[in-house]
């Protein structure tokens, strides 16, 4: 990555697009702290977090989903969500009280799962869900910690067009104060969900602007939309 300057304001919905290998996921890994950057800085909610480990950034109110589904396949839907809920706050180091006895987690999990229509199937192991369902749980896990900034890495990857539309609707319904940074190849989803777009090419930002402006940009057409 080089010379990428990217800003996301509270409540903003922004997409990062670019051809394969443009460095989109790498950018996410830098933002979330999976790898440290060799230079430059990352500021999260006004704090310099360039060298922070991922779990501390999460505590500040950041969440992320993965392009390749990264759930806990042998755990139930409910346990997946509960793990995500307990990830922020102090409860995660408690050893003397069952997780199932935390009512705030149970209630919040019910809220989330009810909202997405999974409460009835809370005891199903995640590996037994369909791919589309797993993508939705993936997003639910991102939402569980009540983040202020959500990074979505191709939430619609591998979904049918109908499922993609559902996913877009789902994302649009989310709390408007939540800032979203979205990587997505499905342009219908992108234009449906976000208001601004940054275009990444060979590790650098080549174009930024409103969704409409990017749609019109010739350069973007050339490197991405036209050829892609």
Partner 1 sequence: MKRIWILLSVLALAAAVAPFTGPFVILLLAQILVLGIIAMSVDLLLGYTGLPSLGQAAYLGVGAYLTAILATKFGFGLGWDFWLVVLMGMAAGAATAGFFGLFAIRASGVYFLMITLALGMCVWGLAYRWNSVTGGDNGINMRGRPKFGIELANDLTFFYVVLGLFIASFFALHLLVSSPFGKSLVGIRERELRMRILGYNTWLHKYIAFVIAGGFGGLAGVLWAHLNGIVSPVDVLLPASVDALLMVVLGGPGTLVGGLIGATVVVFLREYLATMVQWWQYVLGAVYVLTILYLPGGIMGLFKGGKA
Residue numbers at the binding site for partner 1 (CB under 8 A):
32, 34, 53-56, 58-59, 63-64, 66, 70-75, 79, 82-84, 86-88, 91-100, 102, 141, 144-145
Token pair 């979505």 in the structure block, residue: 152
Q: How far is the CB of 27 from partner 1 (least distance, A)?
A: 15
Instruction: Choose between 80 and 164: whose C-beta lies nearer to partner 1.
Output: 80
Instruction: Choose between 58 and 164: whose C-beta lies nearer to partner 1.
Output: 58
Q: How far is the CB of 55 from partner 1 (least distance, A)?
A: 5
Q: How far is the CB of 97 from partner 1 (least distance, A)?
A: 6
Residue 88: both structure tokens together: 């922020």
Instruction: Choose between 5 and 101: whose C-beta lies nearer to partner 1.
Output: 101
Residue 14: strand pairing partners: 181, 196
CA 3 – CA 208 distance, rounded (Å): 14
CA 57 – CA 50 distance, rounded (Å): 10
| Residue ranges of E strands in 52-132 | 62-64
Question: Taking the CB of residue 150, how many other CB atoms lie within 10 A of it?
Answer: 24
Instruction: Choose between 100 and 195: whose C-beta lies nearer to partner 1.
Output: 100
Q: How far is the CB of 204 from partner 1 (least distance, A)?
A: 25
According to DSSP, residue 186 is labeled: -
Pairing of strands 196-201, 13-17: parallel
Instruction: Choose between 138 and 207: whose C-beta lies nearer to partner 1.
Output: 138
Instruction: Choose between 19 and 61: whose C-beta lies nearer to partner 1.
Output: 61
CA-to-CA separations, 200 to 71, 124, 216, in angstroms, rounded? 28, 39, 16
Of 26, 68, 24, 2, nearest to 184 by C-alpha is 24
Q: How far is the CB of 122 from partner 1 (least distance, A)?
A: 14
Q: How far is the CB of 107 from partner 1 (least distance, A)?
A: 15
């Amino acid at each position: 990555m080089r010379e990428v300057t990217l800003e996301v304001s509270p409540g903003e919905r922004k997409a990062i697009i670019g051809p394969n290998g443009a460095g989109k996921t790498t950018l996410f890994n830098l933002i979330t702290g999976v790898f440290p950057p060799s230079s430059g800085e990352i500021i999260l909610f006004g704090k310099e977090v360039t060298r922070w480990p991922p779990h501390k950034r999460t505590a500040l109110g950041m969440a992320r989903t993965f392009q390749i589904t990264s759930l806990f396949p042998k755990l139930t839907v409910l346990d997946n969500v509960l793990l995500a809920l307990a990830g922020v706050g102090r409860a995660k180091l408690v050893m003397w009280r069952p997780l199932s006895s935390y009512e705030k987690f149970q209630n919040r999990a019910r809220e989330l799962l009810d909202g997405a229509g999974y409460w009835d199937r809370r005891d199903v192991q995640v590996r037994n869900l369909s791919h589309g369902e797993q993508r939705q749980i993936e997003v639910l896990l991102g939402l569980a910690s009540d983040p202020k900034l959500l990074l979505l890495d191709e939430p619609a990857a591998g979904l049918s067009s109908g499922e993609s539309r559902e996913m877009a609707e789902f994302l649009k319904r989310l709390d408007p104060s939540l800032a979203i940074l979205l990587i997505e190849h499905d342009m219908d989803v992108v234009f449906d969900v976000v208001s601004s777009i940054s275009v990444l090419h060979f590790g650098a930002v080549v174009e930024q602007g409103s969704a409409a402006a990017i749609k019109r940009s010739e350069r973007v057409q050339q490197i991405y939309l036209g050829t892609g």
